[in-house]
């Protein structure tokens, strides 16, 4: 009994000591878990970049305007109305008056300057400030020709996006697409290219040959696309800088649905022959073609995974058109889509985490995403006709085209480009001078 009493007493004493110690430490450090928050665009102030001469001030206004528009379209930033600004940033301000910016609820502030150098080129600098912490987050300077100011603006927007989100931006990019004009039964389709925000639009082909499905090379200013130039639909390469075109490979029959490999050295495409379509890979250096599938079905829309190890495609080999993933050499094909309706045009995200696709179900078209194993299917948008998803280089935004229905007299049927972010809540029309379809997003220009 005595022993047990002593043991109990000792245990109690130890427990008391531990309790006292822990309570002391708890007093010193209270711990709180925050598992919810708000999800809203970050309020950011982008006053015009001041400059000395009139042309500098104009460039400063223009650049701030383009940066602001880029960030706003991303849906992650909310540029504040310049009329609410209290401090009028001047070129001599080394540091902003942060309370002035907190006052208008800005969380981030971008200041900059524009100067004309002796050689006539523009020197543009910017700094991104954390208004609450009163510290500079990043800052760079650029020099370029006066006409190139828009490019600088996109690069600055990318830097801001990257610093705040931790991810690469996508503003310094271009879109190649098919520009459409004329009545539906006599449509003229030309390759066109523009900045990601719709600026600097220009036509690449003259419209004599029908063009479809342009795709950007991930490594060069090169496009692969389908053209009816020689009568038979063939896959071509187009060099944006030189304007040169050439047919890819020498296949019998019709080739279509081309796409580059991640290293830019190969093109995967479909070849239709004798009523079936199979997938081929063409090495652009050796011009040698490799057969990837050999089915009695229609295999098409091949797309490499960003690491180049796998290819996603759609096939009706199982009875209805569904999505499949196979190894890059053509083996081990596995179906990944199992929802209702038909699935097509799988496009692997540059981040590798998702595959975008088009789905036709119940007479309606959808654009959606799923994980490469087929799980987590999520439909982002739908309409009478939505098609041709293409990823921004950072894998957070998709662009696609939407066609409205046409009547029996050929009216309607307008085709426009749209962008939508992965959350599905930020959908915007991309303004083009004419009707537009089949967009393809370039990699970052750098």
Partner 1 sequence: MSLALAEPMPTGRTVVPREPTSGVTGLGIALSAALHVVLGTVLIIGLPRLFDPPPPEEMPIAVQLVTIAPETRATRPNPNPRPDAKPEIPDVEPPVAKPEPKPEPPQPAPVPPSSATAPPPEPQRQPEPKPEPPKPVERVEAPSPPPPPIPAKPPEHAPEPLKAVEKPEPPKPREKPEPPRQMAKHEVKPEEPRHEPKPEEKKYDPRQFDALLKNLTPQEAAPSPDAPPQKQRNATVKASSQPRAPLGGQLTASELDMVRQQIARCWNVPAGARDARDLVVEIRVVVDPDGTVRQATIVDQARLGDPFFRAAAESARRAFFNPHCRPLHLPAEKYAIWKDLVVDFSPKDIL
Q: Report 293-322 residues binding partner 1 (CB under 8 A).
A: none
CB 282 within 8 A of CB 239: no
Q: Based on CB atoms, which residue is closest to partner 1, 195 or 435?
A: 195
Q: Give residues 53-92 in contact with partner 1 (rule: CB under 8 A).
A: 76
Q: Based on CB atoms, which residue is closest to partner 1, 125 or 316?
A: 125
**Binding test (CB under 8 A) with partner 1, winner from 353, 360, 413, 414:** 353
CB of 158 to partner 1, least distance (A): 9
CA 311 vs. chain centroid, Å, equals: 20
- Give every CB contact of residue 301 below 8 A, 6+ residues apart in sequence: 257, 270, 313, 314, 344, 345, 346
- The yes or no reply on residue 201 touching partner 1 (CB under 8 A) is no
- The yes or no reply on residue 239 touching partner 1 (CB under 8 A) is no
- The yes or no reply on residue 1 touching partner 1 (CB under 8 A) is no
Of 296, 319, 210, 206, nearest in space to 256 by CA: 210
Question: How many whole angstroms separate alpha carbon 300 and alpha carbon 60?
Answer: 48
Question: How many whole angstroms separate alpha carbon 362 and alpha carbon 46?
Answer: 46
CB of 399 to partner 1, least distance (A): 17
CB of 288 to partner 1, least distance (A): 31
- The yes or no reply on residue 26 touching partner 1 (CB under 8 A) is yes
Question: How many whole angstroms separate alpha carbon 267 and alpha carbon 290?
Answer: 10
- The yes or no reply on residue 264 touching partner 1 (CB under 8 A) is no
Token pair 């003259």 is found at: 206
- The yes or no reply on residue 409 touching partner 1 (CB under 8 A) is no
- The yes or no reply on residue 202 touching partner 1 (CB under 8 A) is no
User: Based on C-alpha coordinates, what's the Rg of the chain?
Assistant: 28
**Binding test (CB under 8 A) with partner 1, winner from 377, 385, 414, 434:** 377
- Give every CB contact of residue 110 below 8 A, 6+ residues apart in sequence: 44, 45, 46, 47, 64, 67, 126, 127, 128, 129, 156, 160
Beta partners for 109?
Answer: 45, 129
Question: How many whole angstroms separate alpha carbon 404 and alpha carbon 352?
Answer: 32
Q: Based on CB atoms, which residue is closest to partner 1, 90 or 294?
A: 90
Strand 276-283 and strand 266-273: the pairing is antiparallel
Q: Give residues 205-224 in contact with partner 1 (rule: CB under 8 A).
A: 221
**Binding test (CB under 8 A) with partner 1, winner from 2, 36, 296, 408:** 36
CB of 339 to partner 1, least distance (A): 6
CB of 132 to partner 1, least distance (A): 3
- The yes or no reply on residue 152 touching partner 1 (CB under 8 A) is yes
Number of residues that bind partner 1 (CB under 8 A): 83
Question: How many whole angstroms separate alpha carbon 236 and alpha carbon 246?
Answer: 5
CB of 175 to partner 1, least distance (A): 16
Token pair 């301000």 is found at: 93
- The yes or no reply on residue 134 touching partner 1 (CB under 8 A) is yes
Could you give the residue ranges of the DSSP H alpha helices within 177-261? none
Q: Give residues 104-123 in contact with partner 1 (rule: CB under 8 A).
A: 105, 107, 119, 121
- The yes or no reply on residue 351 touching partner 1 (CB under 8 A) is yes
CB 302 within 8 A of CB 269: yes
- The yes or no reply on residue 204 touching partner 1 (CB under 8 A) is no
- The yes or no reply on residue 422 touching partner 1 (CB under 8 A) is yes
**Binding test (CB under 8 A) with partner 1, winner from 241, 246, 332, 407:** 241
Q: Based on CB atoms, which residue is closest to partner 1, 140 or 228?
A: 140
- Which helix (H) or strand (E) segment holds residue 8: the answer is helix 2-28
């Amino acid at each position: 009994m005595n022993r047990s009493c002593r043991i109990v007493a000792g245990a109690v004493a130890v427990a008391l000591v531990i309790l006292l110690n822990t309570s002391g430490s708890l007093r010193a450090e209270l711990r709180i878990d925050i598992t919810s928050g708000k999800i809203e665009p970050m309020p950011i102030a982008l006053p015009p970049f001041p400059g000395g001469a009139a042309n500098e001030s104009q460039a400063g206004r223009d650049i701030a305007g383009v940066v602001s528009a880029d960030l706003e379209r991303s849906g992650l930033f909310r540029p504040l109305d310049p009329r609410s600004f209290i401090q009028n940033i001047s070129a001599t301000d080394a540091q902003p008056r942060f309370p002035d910016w907190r006052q208008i609820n800005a969380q981030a502030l971008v200041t900059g300057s524009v100067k004309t150098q002796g050689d006539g080129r523009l020197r543009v600098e910017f700094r991104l400030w954390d208004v609450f912490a009163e510290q500079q987050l990043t800052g760079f300077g650029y020099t370029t020709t006066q006409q190139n100011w828009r490019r600088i603006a996109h690069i600055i927007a990318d830097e801001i996006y990257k610093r705040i989100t931790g991810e690469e931006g996508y503003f310094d990019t271009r879109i190649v697409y098919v520009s459409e004009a004329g009545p539906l039964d006599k449509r003229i389709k030309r390759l066109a290219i523009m900045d990601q925000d719709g600026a600097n639009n220009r036509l690449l082909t003259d419209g004599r040959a029908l063009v479809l499905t342009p795709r950007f090379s991930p490594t060069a200013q090169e496009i692969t696309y389908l053209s009816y130039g020689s009568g038979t639909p063939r896959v071509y390469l187009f060099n944006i800088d030189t304007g040169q075109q050439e047919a890819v490979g020498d296949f019998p029959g019709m080739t279509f649905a081309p796409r580059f490999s991640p290293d830019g050295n190969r093109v995967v495409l479909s070849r239709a022959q004798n009523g079936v379509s199979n997938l081929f890979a063409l090495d652009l250096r050796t011009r040698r073609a490799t057969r990837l599938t050999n089915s009695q079905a229609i295999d098409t829309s091949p797309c490499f995974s960003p690491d180049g190890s796998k290819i996603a495609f759609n096939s009706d080999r199982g009875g209805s058109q569904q999505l499949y993933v196979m190894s890059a050499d053509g083996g081990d094909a596995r179906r990944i889509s199992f929802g209702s309706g038909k699935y097509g045009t799988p496009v692997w995200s540059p981040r590798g985490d998702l595959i975008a696709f088009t789905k036709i179900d119940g007479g309606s078209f959808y654009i959606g995403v799923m994980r490469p194993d087929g799980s987590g299917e999520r439909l982002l948008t739908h309409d009478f006709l939505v098609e041709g998803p293409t990823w921004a280089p950072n894998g957070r935004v998709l662009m696609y085209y939407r066609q409205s229905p046409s009547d029996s007299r050929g009216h309607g049927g307008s085709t426009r480009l749209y962008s939508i972010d992965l959350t599905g809540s930020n959908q915007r029309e991309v303004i083009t001078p004419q009707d537009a379809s089949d967009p393809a997003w370039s990699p970052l220009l750098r």
